[in-house]
Structure 1
Amino acid sequence: MKKSTLLLFGVLITLFSACQEDKEKVEEAPTESFRNEVAATEVNVATAERKSFDYLIQATGKLEAGAEVLAVIEQAGYLLEVNVREGQYVKKGDIIAKLDPTEPEFRLEKAKISLRNANAEYESAKMGYETLFSSDNSEQKDVVDEQLKAKSGVFLAEVELREAQMSFDRSVVKAPISGQVADLKFKAGSLVSANAELCQVLGTSEFILKVKVLESDISLISINQKAEVYPISNTQTALHGKVTGINPRVDESGLVQVSITLAANKALLPGMNARAIIRAPQNNSLVVPKDALVYRSGRAVVFSIENKESKWNYVEVGKDNGEEVEILDGLEENSTVITSNNLQLAHQAPVQIIKE
């Protein structure tokens, strides 16, 4: 009985040892064989290139007419005619409104009569100096002639005539510039005061878009730099303009006003909202497609490929133009980077490049 117990104990020890060896063999199975069992992730790739990189500075603003001038009614009176409507195109000097001219005409005629009377008195007084005016003493003649004109009231009458003519001329309102009429405030029959605003004339031969950009970007912008403008009414078609003004003051929000001038376009109206893109070329930058960039725990990561496996690279990101990203550190030039299926990708995961 004792021998049977010992024999059974020996068999159990042998079986336990065999199981332990099998377990160790499983645990010692190489990682390589495990990777081979995992299906390779199919990925698209690109090359990290050092090249010129267009950084895009984007901002929105409102369009303004290239010129905006008030048409002012310079004297009080009744408006007999208003010859324009809003939106109408006028040329500089066109008569756009008329006041009742009765009183200005009367003052003008009165001033003309006063000047004729003064001249008659002057000629009469001049007859007493026939000898002097027939002589060659030009200096003395000029002195006496001026005195006679002053005494007879010629000088004063001439000034009053000019004033009356100016008053008469103000009974018509002329377009101050060529452009379109906007904000018409009066109609025929209105009683207006002196210096009342009749309308605005918008010079739309060019437009100005004023936008605000970050002060950190202002060093990348210069006068005559090209810009693309997308009106809200047509966000698909770019209009071409150039930077014509940079305000030297930074506002309380850390923004700087930049003016972009663009040519006239029938689709544009003053006050229209628009988006501007100013291209700022960056030379000799290491660039990857934006799709190559992912974030893990708040840090920027780009996966490259080495030996058919993904490699996790923490990178320092620079400027971004919406399509490409500038890499400042963490990635070697000419690296093959993964641009698809990289959101859940792990380090040293097997990958297969999709052939296009």
Structure 2
Amino acid sequence: MKLKPYFLLPFLALPLCFSCDSKGEKQEEIPLESMRNEVTATKVTVAKAEKRSFDYLINASGKVEAAQQVKVFIERRGYLKALNLKEGQSIKAGTVMALLDNTDNIFRREKALVQLKNAQANYNSEMLGFSTIMEGDDIDKISELQEQLKASSGLLSAEIELKEAELELEKSTIKAPISGKVADLKLKPGSLVNAGDELCEILSTEELNLRVKVLESDIPFISLAQETEVYPVAAGTGSLSGRVSSINPKVDENGLVEVNIKLKKGEKLLPGMNARAVIRAPQNDNVVVPKQALVYRSGRPVVFTLNGKESKWNYVEVGKDNGREIEVLDGIKDGETVITSNNLQLAHQAPVQIVKEKE
């Protein structure tokens, strides 16, 4: 039995009805403004972009050193008779630090004095035979004769012997070459010492330096007498101020340059302490924003600004970064309001609500 064609007509009509209903539904579009009103506004904090001087901060670490550090050495062999030192003691330049047994030196000096007197007597005796020349007017001839007689009479060698004896006697008394504090005391009284043995080191703590190394790329931003902030690692020392006193004109194998910073005196600061220096390098006036305003999208720097009650996506070109603020060379204008929080997942034209920092 065959079905007649008119029995299929109701079934064919059904898809057409459904199709008409679907098209009717698609034509009913929800207004964009209505959708935005339904989206919860993101709470954000904001700040002003300002065109002003920007401090580029150069951080470097190093060790505190005394402006003068002098090692004191023994200059002759002998027994260390007296030692008037202890570590940490303050001492002034010229103060007697130690004494070596000088009995033999005193004897040698007395012997040299006797030899000098005998030589002087011989010289005076020989001079009597040249009274005519000595009373003349030829100064050059008189001077030449005196030198010859000094040599022949032994006076010249006797004078040298006395000077040598006095120098050796002086070496038995060890004096402080500079003012400062005693460190690394190595010898004890009664010790037999030799020439070249180290006694101690004297540190001039009245003036301290911090020697640091900075990247060669940062050297153009550093100049002599530039202000610095110094933060010792040791607790309780506080922060200090200083000035750049010298810049080594050579770059080492690691691409670093040595910079010396003269410190203002700190009561608890000692040579050898570790410290961090922050060198401020003012830059030309540029637009500056807080560092929190900068985010990266697909590897490109972006700053969101406030456009009414919405966020605005801005690609920017950034300059220096000092840890707190960033230079914006292009993309943001002076006076624009930038978004500084909840901007990591923020989109363009997203509704935002300004709140205070603590909210």
So what's the TM-score if we normalise by structure 1? 0.91
Query: How far off its partner does 1:24 sit?
Result: 2.9
Query: How far off its partner does 1:6 sit?
Result: 7.8
Matched, 1:158 2:137: no
Report what 2:203 is aligned to. 202
Q: 3-state SS of the aligned residue for 2:347? A: coil
- Pair 9,112 (structure 1): closer, same or farther in 2 beyond 3 Å: same
AA aligned opposite 1:294: V
Residue 24 of structure 2 is aligned with which of 18, 21, 25? 21
C-alpha contact 1:205 1:263 (8 A) present in aligned 2 = no
Report what 1:276 is aligned to. 277
Q: Once superposed, what is the RMSD of the aligned Cα atoms? A: 2.6
Q: C-alpha separation between the residues in 1 aligned to 2:16 and 2:70?
A: 107
- Pair 47,236 (structure 1): closer, same or farther in 2 beyond 3 Å: farther
C-alpha contact 1:105 1:168 (8 A) present in aligned 2 = yes
- Pair 12,224 (structure 1): closer, same or farther in 2 beyond 3 Å: closer
Report what 2:306 is aligned to. 305
Q: C-alpha separation between the residues in 2 aligned to 1:70 and 1:85?
A: 15
Q: C-alpha separation between the residues in 2 aligned to 1:241 and 1:318?
A: 27
Report what 1:66 is aligned to. 67
Q: 3-state SS of the aligned residue for 1:104? A: helix
AA aligned opposite 2:72: A
C-alpha contact 1:73 1:195 (8 A) present in aligned 2 = yes
C-alpha contact 2:237 2:268 (8 A) present in aligned 1 = no
Deviates more, 1:4-13 or 1:317-326: 4-13
Q: C-alpha separation between the residues in 2 aligned to 1:44 and 1:271?
A: 45
Report what 1:251 is aligned to. 252
Q: C-alpha separation between the residues in 2 aligned to 1:355 and 1:61?
A: 40
AA aligned opposite 2:217: S
Q: 3-state SS of the aligned residue for 1:204? A: coil
AA aligned opposite 2:24: E
C-alpha contact 1:208 1:260 (8 A) present in aligned 2 = yes
Q: 3-state SS of the aligned residue for 1:180? A: strand
Query: How far off its partner does 1:45 sit?
Result: 1.1
Q: C-alpha separation between the residues in 2 aligned to 1:199 and 1:164?
A: 26
Q: C-alpha separation between the residues in 2 aligned to 1:255 and 1:93?
A: 40
Q: 3-state SS of the aligned residue for 1:347? A: coil
Report what 1:188 is aligned to. 189
Deviates more, 1:234-243 or 1:63-72: 234-243
Query: How far off its partner does 1:102 sit?
Result: 1.0
1:28-53 CA distances to partner (integer Å, 9 max, x unpaired)? 11221100111212221112111100
Report what 2:267 is aligned to. 266
**Sequence identity (%):** 56
Deviates more, 1:101-110 or 1:15-24: 15-24
1:230-258 CA distances to partner (integer Å, 9 max, x unpaired)? 11014883211111111111122211111
Q: Which runs of 5+ in 2 are unaligned?
A: 1-5
Q: C-alpha separation between the residues in 2 aligned to 1:309 and 1:287?
A: 22
Query: How far off its partner does 1:276 sit?
Result: 0.3
- Pair 167,90 (structure 1): closer, same or farther in 2 beyond 3 Å: same
Q: Which runs of 5+ in 1 are unaligned?
A: none
AA aligned opposite 2:44: V
Alignment coverage as a number of residue pairs: 352
Matched, 1:171 2:165: no
- Pair 210,355 (structure 1): closer, same or farther in 2 beyond 3 Å: closer
- Pair 18,169 (structure 1): closer, same or farther in 2 beyond 3 Å: same
Deviates more, 1:306-315 or 1:51-60: 306-315
Q: C-alpha separation between the residues in 1 aligned to 2:104 and 2:178?
A: 28
Deviates more, 1:190-199 or 1:229-238: 229-238
Q: 3-state SS of the aligned residue for 1:205? A: coil
1:194-233 CA distances to partner (integer Å, 9 max, x unpaired)? 1221111111221111111111111111111111111101
Query: How far off its partner does 1:125 sit?
Result: 3.0
Q: C-alpha separation between the residues in 2 aligned to 1:265 and 1:236?
A: 8
1:99-144 CA distances to partner (integer Å, 9 max, x unpaired)? 11111111111111111111122233334455665x4546355444
AA aligned opposite 2:82: E
AA aligned opposite 1:86: E
Query: How far off its partner does 1:333 sit?
Result: 2.8
C-alpha contact 1:241 1:260 (8 A) present in aligned 2 = yes
Report what 2:3 is aligned to. none
Q: 3-state SS of the aligned residue for 1:252? A: coil
- Pair 286,100 (structure 1): closer, same or farther in 2 beyond 3 Å: same
Query: How far off its partner does 1:7 sit?
Result: 8.7
Q: How does 1:1-356 map to 2 (within 5 A)?
A: 17-18=20-21, 20-25=23-28, 28-129=29-130, 135=135, 137=137, 139=139, 141-234=142-235, 237-354=238-355
- Pair 346,265 (structure 1): closer, same or farther in 2 beyond 3 Å: same
